[in-house]
Structure 1
Amino acid sequence: MWADNASKIDMLSFEPYAELLHEMALSERINPLTIGLFGNWGSGKSTVLNLINKKITAETNKNIVSIFVNAWMFEGYDDAKTALMEVILRTLEDNKGIKEKVGGALKKLKDRVDWFRLGGYALKKGTPLLLSAAFGNPIPILLEGLKTIIPKDQSQAEEKITQLLEMKEFLKDLPEDNVVQNIRKFREEFEQMMDDSGLDNLVIIIDDLDRCSPDRIIETMEAIKLFLSVKKTTFIIAIDEDVVSYAVQRKYPKIDDASLDISKDYIEKIVQMPIKIPELSDIEVKNYLLLLVCEMFLGEDHLDRLLSGLKERKVFVKGEIISQEEIRSILEHEGNALDVVFKPGHNKEDFEVQLDVFGRVADVISTTLKGNPRQAKRFINTFYVRKKLSEIQNLELDLGILAKLMVLEYTNLDLFREMYSWHITNEGFARELAPLEKFSVDEEAQNIEEMKQLYSNAWFKPIVQHWLRVEPTQLSEVDLRPYFYLAKDSIKEKNISMLNLTAEERKWVNDICIDGLQETLRQQKIVEFNEADVDHSKIIKGIIAKYQTNKESILKILVKLYELFPIHREELMKEFKKLRKVEMSPTNVMLFNLVKRVNVQHYDDLKKYFIEEGIVEAELWDRVARR
């Protein structure tokens, strides 16, 4: 199994990025510097940061120090700015050599950070710090602040406050109306401490910033820019640019009709050197899946040998697919027998089988994972969980079938659930799959138009047709009950497979709700559905079942059904009221104008409900409704 976090082994060939950032971080010519490592969730940013930290830690120059900070730890603090500053100062203080040189300066900086924290707390409480000190004993207010944001017991907090109050120089440096002066003082003292410490460079590596709340993201970036960006410091921040942009836009909303992109300018002012990690290609994802299997079976030394051999052959640079033969030839290099390199409990036969399984399905799954290595880990973890569950319960499974069904589950959950409904009605056998399997290998065997009358269009997408051709084929002849039993977490929710719809009824549901369909074609399909001689009630229930898992994209369909089917309006009104605040965009508010044209009372009822429940602000509703 693989932990859902950064890997310390470079199976994604990120070494060049790590080397580049390592060199940049230690360059005196461009110091101070803030480097932004940009990439989507799960793209491998943390892995690159681990490689950089490993390189810096291995430096022979001991005057270069790295500090690895997980920004998520700041979520429990009242002020992320001071939390980051305190982490950095405490880490430096833990270094005996640095403490011997600048221990006093570090203590003074830490005390100043405490004052920043307490001053901010007092202002948030509506009680300026110095006013409370001037008109009485400030201990109760300060003690409450310390207990809220510093994990100390009461006696420790009291002792700390007493020490702070005795330091008159801090009182005179903290006029409540001179924030700029205090920031300047801290920067000056921090920079002087760096000079006196003898450090050539302090590299602060910040990970998981994009997992934090918007306020914490802004506070952390402000701390870097305002307090800590001084000579001999380098920051490397791993962030998802879209997440940070959202945080900035929340903090600094765009002015009406302004062309200025505030979020972009904000990030550019803090990050001087942006480095973007590209999404993995389909070939790279396929290779990564195979390497994950290798990591499970091989000891660390042999895995290193395999990775080094692949890099020497420039497999990653050339964008080549790793073959089983190539893996075998590298591992057997220098006369090492393949059957002695495996971890305890693993053997050559299982290794070969699982490489073959993932070699076959990786083509399809790599397209679905969209270049995301974390998703690849999750897929393969789920595979091994189900494999282990089958072994515990003595279920006889074909690992190829298990992997292939999981690929459909990841690629198109609706089709996976449709297969589930087929196997339920056929005592474990998805007989309806047989014509589709035949069509995938010989399109001339059946008339495409006749096929589309029986099956939803999703079955004819290229990726699904590819899936049908992947070995093992002819799943329609396999008892699938044990496989769906292991996947019950994906089929247990209420969905259309539980409604006993016929093939024709399922086709109507899927054709109306299919993703990516042009809106004019969708509306035309709904009109055709209204005129068709079918059980409208069952099909509408199927559409509602889909809506319950994807409200935003299917709301427009339900509103149109509300207009066309008066008998179902009360039922649809209940579904409308399941919308949450995050799903109620101005566009969705406008959709209810169609309800108003049909039934004003229902419209007023919806408006009252959404406003009273705090789902939509009255001003927003009225503004949108007038359009």
Structure 2
Amino acid sequence: MWADNASKIDMLSYEPYAELLHDIALSERVNPLTIGLFGNWGSGKSTVLNLIEEKINREKDPKIVSVFVNAWMFEGYDDAKTALMEVILRTLEENEDIKKKVGKSLKRLRDRVDWFRVGGYAVKKGVPYLLSATLGNPFPLLIDGLKSFVPKDEKQAEETMAGMMKAKEFLKEQSEEENVVQNIRLFREEFEQMMNDSNLKNLIIIIDDLDRCSPERIIDTLEAIKLFLAVKKTTFIIAIDEDVVSYAVQRKYPKIDDATLDISKDYIEKIVQMPIRIPELSDIDVKNYLLLLVCEMFLSESHLERLLLGLRERKVFVKGEIISQEEIHSILDFGTNNIEAILKPGFSKSDFELQLDVFGSVAEVISSTLKGNPRQAKRFLNSFYIRKKLSEIQNLNLDLRILAKLMVLEYTHIELFRELYTWQVKNEGYASELEELEKISMDENVDESKIDTVKKKYNSLWFKPIVQQWVKVEPLNLYNQDLRQYFYLAKESIKEKGISLLNLTSIERKWVNDISAEELQESLRRQKVVEFNKDQSLDHSKIIKGIVSKYQTNREAYIKVLILIYEQFPNYRDELVKEFKKLRKEEFSPGTILTFNAVKMVNADHYQEVKNHFIKEEVVGVGIWERVEKPN
């Protein structure tokens, strides 16, 4: 199994990025500097940060200090700015050499942080007037005003009160002219002076997991860097998803009417002077990563590192080549070395080679669906090995190739996986319908008219290129295999959120899937709904209930589908209005308002009912609704 966190071993060939960022961070010529390491969720940003920190620690330069901050760890703290400043100052205080030189300056800065914490807490809790009180003796007023606002969490309450007591002494020393703005300026000046006095060449602050935080926390942390900490001899390396930052900026600084200015882009450029983007892994990269994860499970750490070194020396990653079993054998020298020394205890060579073979066959299909995301690759393999272990505990005789192939379909197209399940249920474990699909997929000379005939019988998703690729992947002839024990291990995936309770026939399920297919163009979807309406042999009520049940957890994704049905089926409109009202705030967008214009064209009363509901429940503001509504 693999932990869902940053790897300590570079199996993604990210060493060049770590080397680049390390060199930039240590360059005095571009200091102070904030580097943005941008990449999608699960793309390997944390791995790069770990490699950078490891390089810095390995050099053991006493004049270079690194501080690794996991921003998510401070999510529960009341003030992100002061939490970040405090962790940096505490790290410096823990360094005995630095403390000897600038201990008093660090204490002074810590006192200022406490002052900011008290002030920021007061503002956030609705008592800003306390901050503007004269500083002759403001502390009793602050305490009285904040008594009712202390956090309920006991630890936070203690920290807040301790900060207040420190701030009391600090405030006595302040002149009456000083205010928040002046204290920001003074903090920057004192922080910069402390850095000079410490004789440090560089303070490198590495911030990870910021994109897991709330939008407010993200902005607070970025503003703390810009306002307080970006002084000479400091370098920040921030790993984050650029889209998440953009969303956070837009939440705090919404676009004004029709302004063309991209606030989020300008904001990021002001904070981050040097953006470095981790590219999405190619399909070949993901395939190699899957094989290396299998190697990590079986090989001892020293031999895994030997394998990675050998692959780099052969420039496998640079050339974009796929790792072969022969290459693994050659680098590890399976022929002459003691195999027991190469593998971890409890593993055999035959099992290792079998699992390399299993994932070598299905990796191409898996990699094309993971969208270059290494974290998703880990999660897929973890699920596979959980199923494998469960089968061993229950003495099930599984073919690991079949297990892997079925899991790929489950992972990529859950509705087709469920359809395969219903086929095998009807035939005591044998999905006989798959035979026709497989044969027509494998026949390169098949007639187009025959394909069209088969397409009318099955869900159109079976004919998507990626699914066709899955059908052709070894092992073939799944229709000759008893699949019951494989589906037994996937019981949670078989449940279809209420659809299973409707006892739909295969034809009814096909209508549900065809109308709800995400890839379907809207014009074709409308045509499908019209055909559905005209077919009087169908139980329309059951199929509509099936469509509603299918997307209970994501109404935004299927609201257009329901509106099409609303237009075509007058008898179901009252029930569908109830479904419209289930849209949650986070699922709502201005585009949703435009979508409801179709309801307005059919029934103005229903439209008004829906509009009033969303405004009353504060799902959307009346001003936003009316601004979107006016042009139409």
TM-score interval, normalised by the smaller of the two chains = over 0.9
Q: How does 1:463-474 map to 2 (within 5 A)?
A: 463-474=466-477
CA contact (8 A) 2:515 2:529 kept: yes
Corresponding residue number in structure 2 for 1:128: 130
Post-superposition Cα deviations, 1:474-523, rounded to whole Å, max 9, x if no partner, equal: 11121111111211121223254554444433333333222232222221
Is 2:620 aligned against 1:620?
Answer: no
What is the distance in 1 between the residues matched to 2:429 and 2:165?
75
User: Cα gap change, 1:150/1:161 in structure 2, threshold over 3 Å: closer, same or farther?
Assistant: farther
User: Cα gap change, 1:425/1:599 in structure 2, threshold over 3 Å: closer, same or farther?
Assistant: same
Post-superposition Cα deviations, 1:13-57, rounded to whole Å, max 9, x if no partner, equal: 000000000000001111111110000000000000000000001
Per the TM alignment, residue 147 of structure 1 is displaced from its structure 2 partner at its CA by 5.4
Q: How does 1:580-599 map to 2 (within 5 A)?
A: 580-599=584-603
CA contact (8 A) 2:566 2:572 kept: yes
What is the distance in 1 between the residues matched to 2:176 and 2:474?
74
Identical pairs, percent: 67
Per the TM alignment, residue 73 of structure 1 is displaced from its structure 2 partner at its CA by 1.7
Structure 1, gaps ≥5 residues long = none
Post-superposition Cα deviations, 1:187-235, rounded to whole Å, max 9, x if no partner, equal: 1110111111111111000001111111111111111111111111110
Is 2:297 aligned against 1:296?
Answer: yes
User: Cα gap change, 1:158/1:473 in structure 2, threshold over 3 Å: closer, same or farther?
Assistant: closer
Corresponding residue number in structure 2 for 1:485: 488
Corresponding residue number in structure 2 for 1:221: 222
From 527, 549, 565, the counterpart of 1:545? 549
**Match for 1:180: what amino acid?**
V
Per the TM alignment, residue 433 of structure 1 is displaced from its structure 2 partner at its CA by 1.1
3-state SS of paired residue (2:275): strand
CA contact (8 A) 2:77 2:156 kept: no
Corresponding residue number in structure 2 for 1:431: 432
CA contact (8 A) 1:187 1:230 kept: yes
Per the TM alignment, residue 562 of structure 1 is displaced from its structure 2 partner at its CA by 1.4
- TM-score by length of structure 2 reads 0.94
From 455, 459, 463, the counterpart of 2:458? 455
Post-superposition Cα deviations, 1:534-571, rounded to whole Å, max 9, x if no partner, equal: 31233323322323244223211211211211222233
Is 2:550 aligned against 1:516?
Answer: no
Corresponding residue number in structure 2 for 1:341: 342
Corresponding residue number in structure 1 for 2:573: 569
Corresponding residue number in structure 1 for 2:43: 43
Corresponding residue number in structure 2 for 1:101: 101
Post-superposition Cα deviations, 1:88-107, rounded to whole Å, max 9, x if no partner, equal: 00010011111111111100
**Could you tell which deviates more after superposition, 119-128 or 82-91?**
119-128
**Could you tell which deviates more after superposition, 143-152 or 109-118?**
143-152
**Could you tell which deviates more after superposition, 573-582 or 319-328?**
573-582
What is the distance in 2 between the residues matched to 1:464 and 1:69?
43
**Match for 1:131: what amino acid?**
A
Corresponding residue number in structure 2 for 1:527: 530
What is the distance in 2 between the residues matched to 1:39 and 1:541?
40
Corresponding residue number in structure 2 for 1:388: 389
Q: How many residues align?
A: 625
**Match for 2:320: what amino acid?**
G
CA contact (8 A) 1:183 1:226 kept: yes
User: Cα gap change, 1:167/1:618 in structure 2, threshold over 3 Å: closer, same or farther?
Assistant: closer
CA contact (8 A) 1:121 1:145 kept: no
CA contact (8 A) 1:143 1:161 kept: no
**Could you tell which deviates more after superposition, 254-263 or 500-509?**
500-509
Q: How does 1:325-336 map to 2 (within 5 A)?
A: 325-332=326-333, 335-336=336-337
Q: How does 1:493-504 map to 2 (within 5 A)?
A: 493-494=496-497, 496=499, 499-504=502-507
Corresponding residue number in structure 1 for 2:558: 554
Is 2:425 aligned against 1:408?
Answer: no
3-state SS of paired residue (2:456): helix
Is 2:261 aligned against 1:260?
Answer: yes
What is the distance in 2 between the residues matched to 1:533 and 1:168?
81
Per the TM alignment, residue 294 of structure 1 is displaced from its structure 2 partner at its CA by 0.4
Per the TM alignment, residue 163 of structure 1 is displaced from its structure 2 partner at its CA by 4.5
User: Cα gap change, 1:34/1:155 in structure 2, threshold over 3 Å: closer, same or farther?
Assistant: closer
Corresponding residue number in structure 2 for 1:210: 211
CA contact (8 A) 1:118 1:145 kept: no
Is 2:2 aligned against 1:2?
Answer: yes
What is the distance in 1 between the residues matched to 2:312 and 2:326?
16
3-state SS of paired residue (1:454): coil
CA contact (8 A) 2:424 2:432 kept: yes
What is the distance in 1 between the residues matched to 2:404 and 2:395?
18
Corresponding residue number in structure 2 for 1:506: 509
User: Cα gap change, 1:449/1:58 in structure 2, threshold over 3 Å: closer, same or farther?
Assistant: same
3-state SS of paired residue (2:175): helix
What is the distance in 2 between the residues matched to 1:147 and 1:2?
41
**Match for 2:593: what amino acid?**
V
Corresponding residue number in structure 2 for 1:233: 234
- TM-score by length of structure 1 reads 0.94
CA contact (8 A) 1:395 1:482 kept: yes
Post-superposition Cα deviations, 1:374-400, rounded to whole Å, max 9, x if no partner, equal: 000000001011111111122111111
RMSD in angstroms over aligned alpha carbons? 2.3
Structure 2, gaps ≥5 residues long = none
3-state SS of paired residue (2:29): coil
Corresponding residue number in structure 2 for 1:112: 112
CA contact (8 A) 1:421 1:498 kept: no
What is the distance in 2 between the residues matched to 1:106 and 1:197?
10
Corresponding residue number in structure 2 for 1:22: 22
User: Cα gap change, 1:149/1:8 in structure 2, threshold over 3 Å: closer, same or farther?
Assistant: farther
CA contact (8 A) 1:130 1:175 kept: no
Per the TM alignment, residue 162 of structure 1 is displaced from its structure 2 partner at its CA by 4.5
**Could you tell which deviates more after superposition, 116-125 or 94-103?**
116-125
Per the TM alignment, residue 174 of structure 1 is displaced from its structure 2 partner at its CA by 6.9
CA contact (8 A) 2:115 2:170 kept: no
What is the distance in 1 between the residues matched to 2:409 and 2:510?
18
Per the TM alignment, residue 581 of structure 1 is displaced from its structure 2 partner at its CA by 1.3
What is the distance in 2 between the residues matched to 1:48 and 1:151?
36
What is the distance in 1 between the residues matched to 2:441 and 2:212?
43
What is the distance in 1 between the residues matched to 2:141 and 2:167?
11
**Could you tell which deviates more after superposition, 93-102 or 546-555?**
546-555
User: Cα gap change, 1:77/1:141 in structure 2, threshold over 3 Å: closer, same or farther?
Assistant: farther
Corresponding residue number in structure 2 for 1:166: 169
What is the distance in 2 between the residues matched to 1:155 and 1:519?
57
What is the distance in 2 between the residues matched to 1:393 and 1:349?
22
What is the distance in 1 between the residues matched to 2:425 and 2:315?
49
What is the distance in 1 between the residues matched to 2:251 and 2:176?
32
Corresponding residue number in structure 2 for 1:358: 359
Q: How does 1:61-80 map to 2 (within 5 A)?
A: 61-80=61-80
What is the distance in 2 between the residues matched to 1:578 and 1:17?
46
User: Cα gap change, 1:120/1:60 in structure 2, threshold over 3 Å: closer, same or farther?
Assistant: closer
Post-superposition Cα deviations, 1:119-172, rounded to whole Å, max 9, x if no partner, equal: 122233414246286467347348749954997698887676445433456422
User: Cα gap change, 1:169/1:189 in structure 2, threshold over 3 Å: closer, same or farther?
Assistant: farther
What is the distance in 2 between the residues matched to 1:424 and 1:386?
20
User: Cα gap change, 1:122/1:575 in structure 2, threshold over 3 Å: closer, same or farther?
Assistant: closer
**Match for 1:199: what amino acid?**
L
CA contact (8 A) 2:496 2:550 kept: no
What is the distance in 1 between the residues matched to 2:336 and 2:192?
57
**Match for 2:545: what amino acid?**
K
